[in-house]
Structure 1
Amino acid sequence: MTPPLFVYNTLSRSKELFKPLHEGRVGMYVCGPTVYGDAHLGHARPAITFDLLFRYLQHLGYKVRYVRNITDVGHLEHDADEGEDKIAKKARLEQLEPMEVAQYYTNRFNHAMERLNCLPPSIEPHASGHIIEQIRLVQEILEAGYAYESNGSVYFDVVKYNEDFKYGILSGRNLEDVYDASRELDGVGEKRNQVDFALWKKAAPEHIMRWPSPWGEGFPGWHCECTAMGRKYLGEEFDIHGGGMDLVFPHHECEIAQAVASQKKQMVHYWMHNNMITIAGKKMGKSYNNFITLEQFFTGQHELLEQAYTPMTIRFFILQAHYRSTLDFGNEALQASKKGLDRLMDAVRQLSRITPSAQGNLTEEYAATLEQKCYDAMNDDLNSPIVISHLFDACRTINTLADGKESITAAGLEALAKVFHTFCFDILGLAQEENGNAQREVAFGGAVDLLLEMRSKAKADKDWATSDKIRDNLAALGFLVKDTKDGATWKLEV
């Protein structure tokens, strides 16, 4: 039995014991991308963070409904209160249908996530396909008295809501803080209060994406989609809502207000947020024009990149930092991640070549201790860096076993291989990439083994010249041969 799982709840600002609402089942909603451009490294972090959580919850035996939305209605500038819809703008400039733009980038996003070995969500709802649900949400908030219509648009009355409940419970802001953050929007004359946010916006004549509503043709505010779709697919209350820390305010704060205003109770029990990826200490993102797309990472085609990086190197880079810590981009850090990933994958391959011993000094107990350490780290708010450090410690032991300096029983070797498979592949979601050294090992492994058998026979016949020639020729090709008391092992030097 693994210890109880503790997760950091942004709402309570503390680690809490995870207790699902329904025994054996978990409802999880994660804010997905706005599809008006290619996915970048900043998109990869929440995808990998919540893929890790998704994998681990399933590993623990939960049946998980994982919902990740696609925002294809578009974000408006300035918190959906003014400006032009970004998807509509791109469609207008490129003379495309807005849904053509959205579908193109949705396909590219999902392909990038597949390459990062992120499992697909259980449901991937599109904002444009749930306009009816969003209109219904706005109507409920109006009927409850926490919204008002103004010139064909509908706004959430933050001041009135704050009198009855409390606006700012997730971000820790009071209403004065929100006023300060909203002053740049001064002059939006339709709103009663500067802090109010749009639930429905009247479409200007030139606005392409528009739908009929009780208040005239328009489109939903950004915050409505997640509240409406989360409730549709996970119910009025569900377990986990995730996303990047940049969404805490205003997006998730507004989601909480919408849910409480419409149903008089909290919708989400655990709010979880990953921290940002930075570049030179500044958040990486489209709005800062300092982002690098995942495709550019995979091809190396960007001025800041010294080389191309594989999808698994990117995944490992992200998993080496705790999801709530900032992660600064740098070529040195990515190159170190590549070496670390190669080290883990080399240990996995070495495990298949180790010959067990009946009198081995390592047994199943060693593997069980390693396994428990890894579970303890995962149960401590998904501490993937600590899991990786424990696996690295085990890599040293695997190298000594491969060199014949230590021995392990057959049962111990089987248990150790299972631990590595479980945590490297099933939980961390890493994958053997069929390129470089791994591909060469697969292609030439049988031939190397055959040559080593010939070398073993030569040594038995005291034909040292042939033995040395085989070893030296293999070394020239990059295959490092090590003699052990049980024979010889080999690996392809990185």
Structure 2
Amino acid sequence: MNTGLQLYNTLTRKKELFEPLNAPHVGMYVCGPTVYSDVHLGNCRTFISFDLIFRYLKYSGYKVRYVRNITDAGHLEGDRDEGDDKFAKRAKLEQLEPMEIVQKYTLGFHDVLRMFNTLPPSIEPTATGHIIEQIEMIKEIMNNGYAYESNGTIYFDVEKYSQTYNYTILTNRNLEDMLANTRELGGQNEKRGRLDFALWIKAKPETLMRWASPWGEGFPGWHIECSAMSAKYLGAEFDIHGGGMDLAATHHTNEIAQSEACSHKQPAKYWMHTNMLTVNGTRMSKSAGNGFLPEQLFSGDHALLEKGFSPMTVKFFMLQAHYRSTLDFSNEALDASEKGFKRLMNALSLLDKLTPAESSDFEIDPIIDNCVKAMNDDFNSPVVIAELFEASRIINTVYDGKGKISAVELDKLKQLMQDFVYDIFGLKDEETSNIALNSVLDMVIDLRQTAKENKDYATSDKIRLGLQSMGIQLKDSKEGTTWNKA
């Protein structure tokens, strides 16, 4: 087991030696998407980063339980419990039931992450599937004196909590300044303090998503779901809690408060946050008009993009920046990543063509050691990529006959590339995947042609409609049958 891993802990604002609570078992909770709209690139970067962390922890010998939630209830438009419910608003807009919205965008989220070749989490719980756990946690918080009821809504008492615990431990903000800068909101008269936040919200007559509770019909606040589900699947204390840095100030701060108020324990030992995305140096956002969806990035269908970039190119681009650093999108940067990724894949395609010699001009152990040291240093993927390019240089040199490598060193080189390119980074050769797809489709088209010749039109139509449902359109002509992605 790897014992030299150092993580940057947002809670203490420094790197610390990773020591799991129950080694070799690791519990990791990452805040998943709110599934009322298409997944955005900021989400993708977070989940790609934690997929890397998940993969490397497993590579290092840990048994990892990776929990990533789905928020499908209780998310209002504002962090301070104001505005409309996002799911109900989207459901009304698209004239669907709220759970149809949830299903639609959950499937879309999974489709995007499959394109990035991320591993599924160990458990993916939903907020709506854990209403009982959330109600029970709220009841315990109230019993401990840190929450109160006001007109059917349950609020967390930040001032009472702050008398015993440090409410701003995650961000190191000044509590007095926060109170002074918190604006008055609608419904503020229901709260005892400006920073108090809702654990359970009373349903309005028009509320679509509602559940029975000891305080009447309502729905959970946004923050309570993560506290309840992380405690259920990882315990009151677990190892790693992660998410985007935008969650630290409100969502994660309130998660810590809820969990401590319930169990009197700090929930996670290590807090990790991914940094934001920018486009040509400007923060990516819908309001700035510079935000684009993954599908737009793949197709190039956006005013700021000169062309589309493949999922693996985009993933490789993200891995070239440390997860805690700002990631700036530009056509030039993506072009460079595309060339770099192709260079790496081309080198990998030559590995099996190398002929080992009796002696070697190269030693692979130093490269392996540097890769491990880089990953142990808070998952420094950019440094690993630089080492992989050095390995690619060796492959090309041997292939060109300008150097030789022994069988022992060649085996080490193959294992290095398998471990870090495929198993840890989760990259794959898209050209090879396309070749395989072409071969399979050619075979299926031949089977359909045989069916037509035998006048088995039912089978012919079944093949055509089946491919169409998977996004493959067939076109028959005198020259034969061709296909394209619909």
After TM superposition, the score normalised by the length of structure 1 is 0.86
Which of 378, 381, 386 aligns to 1:384? It is: 381
User: What residue in structure 2 maps to residue 414 of structure 1?
Assistant: 411
Deviates more, 1:206-215 or 1:187-196: 187-196
What SS does the aligned partner of 2:190 have?
A: coil
- Structure 2: how far apart are the matches of 1:74 and 1:153? 13
- Structure 2: how far apart are the matches of 1:197 and 1:346? 54
User: What residue in structure 2 maps to residue 27 of structure 1?
Assistant: 27
Asked whether the equivalents of residues 2 and 61 of structure 2 are also in contact (C-alpha less than 8 Å), the reply is: no
Give the superposition deviation at 1:287.
6.6
Give 2:224's aligned amino acid: C
User: What residue in structure 2 maps to residue 51 of structure 1?
Assistant: 51
- Superposed counterparts of 1:373-452, under 5 Å: 373-434=370-431, 439=435
Give the superposition deviation at 1:67.
0.4
- In structure 2, the gaps of 5 or more residues are 440-486
Give the superposition deviation at 1:284.
2.5
User: What residue in structure 1 maps to residue 203 of structure 2?
Assistant: 203
Give 1:178's aligned amino acid: M
Give the superposition deviation at 1:290.
3.7
- Superposed counterparts of 1:170-249, under 5 Å: 170-183=170-183, 185=185, 188-249=188-249
Asked whether the equivalents of residues 2 and 375 of structure 1 are also in contact (C-alpha less than 8 Å), the reply is: no
Number of residue pairs the alignment of both structures matches: 438
- Structure 1: how far apart are the matches of 2:180 and 2:89? 30
User: What residue in structure 2 maps to residue 305 of structure 1?
Assistant: 305
- Structure 2: how far apart are the matches of 1:354 and 1:143? 69
- Structure 1: how far apart are the matches of 2:286 and 2:84? 16
Return closer, same or farther for 1:3/1:28 CA change in 2, 3 Å cut-off.
closer
Give 1:221's aligned amino acid: G
What SS does the aligned partner of 2:430 have?
A: coil
What SS does the aligned partner of 1:206 have?
A: coil
Give the superposition deviation at 1:337.
0.9
User: What residue in structure 2 maps to residue 356 of structure 1?
Assistant: 356
- Superposed counterparts of 1:3-402, under 5 Å: 4-79=4-79, 81-183=81-183, 185=185, 188-286=188-286, 290-362=290-362, 366-402=363-399
Asked whether the equivalents of residues 66 and 123 of structure 2 are also in contact (C-alpha less than 8 Å), the reply is: yes
Asked whether the equivalents of residues 203 and 219 of structure 2 are also in contact (C-alpha less than 8 Å), the reply is: yes
What SS does the aligned partner of 2:71 have?
A: coil
What SS does the aligned partner of 2:149 have?
A: strand
Return closer, same or farther for 1:35/1:10 CA change in 2, 3 Å cut-off.
same
Return closer, same or farther for 1:197/1:281 CA change in 2, 3 Å cut-off.
farther
RMSD of aligned C-alpha atoms? 1.8
Asked whether the equivalents of residues 184 and 194 of structure 2 are also in contact (C-alpha less than 8 Å), the reply is: no
Give 2:158's aligned amino acid: V
Give the superposition deviation at 1:181.
4.5
Return closer, same or farther for 1:313/1:218 CA change in 2, 3 Å cut-off.
same
Asked whether the equivalents of residues 52 and 427 of structure 1 are also in contact (C-alpha less than 8 Å), the reply is: yes
Return closer, same or farther for 1:35/1:181 CA change in 2, 3 Å cut-off.
farther
Give 2:11's aligned amino acid: L
Q: Which has the larger radius of gyration?
A: 1
Give 1:222's aligned amino acid: W
Give 2:378's aligned amino acid: D
User: What residue in structure 1 maps to residue 448 of structure 2?
Assistant: none
* CA shift digits 1:137-156 (9 cap, x unpaired): 11111111111111110111
- Structure 2: how far apart are the matches of 1:31 and 1:221? 15
Asked whether the equivalents of residues 2 and 376 of structure 1 are also in contact (C-alpha less than 8 Å), the reply is: no
What SS does the aligned partner of 2:169 have?
A: coil
What SS does the aligned partner of 1:352 have?
A: helix
* CA shift digits 1:404-463 (9 cap, x unpaired): 111111111111111111111111111111369x849x99xxxxxxxxxxxxxxxxxxxx
Asked whether the equivalents of residues 3 and 376 of structure 1 are also in contact (C-alpha less than 8 Å), the reply is: no
- Structure 2: how far apart are the matches of 1:157 and 1:290? 39
What SS does the aligned partner of 1:79 have?
A: coil
What SS does the aligned partner of 2:292 have?
A: coil
What SS does the aligned partner of 1:412 have?
A: helix
- Structure 1: how far apart are the matches of 2:157 and 2:204? 23
Give the superposition deviation at 1:397.
2.1
Deviates more, 1:353-362 or 1:193-202: 353-362
Give 2:240's aligned amino acid: I
Give the superposition deviation at 1:185.
3.0
Give the superposition deviation at 1:361.
2.6
Give 1:372's aligned amino acid: D
Residue identity over aligned pairs, in percent, reads 58
Give the superposition deviation at 1:289.
5.5
Return closer, same or farther for 1:28/1:191 CA change in 2, 3 Å cut-off.
same
Return closer, same or farther for 1:119/1:209 CA change in 2, 3 Å cut-off.
same
- Structure 2: how far apart are the matches of 1:130 and 1:182? 31
What SS does the aligned partner of 2:91 have?
A: helix
- Structure 1: how far apart are the matches of 2:24 and 2:116? 28
What SS does the aligned partner of 2:36 have?
A: coil
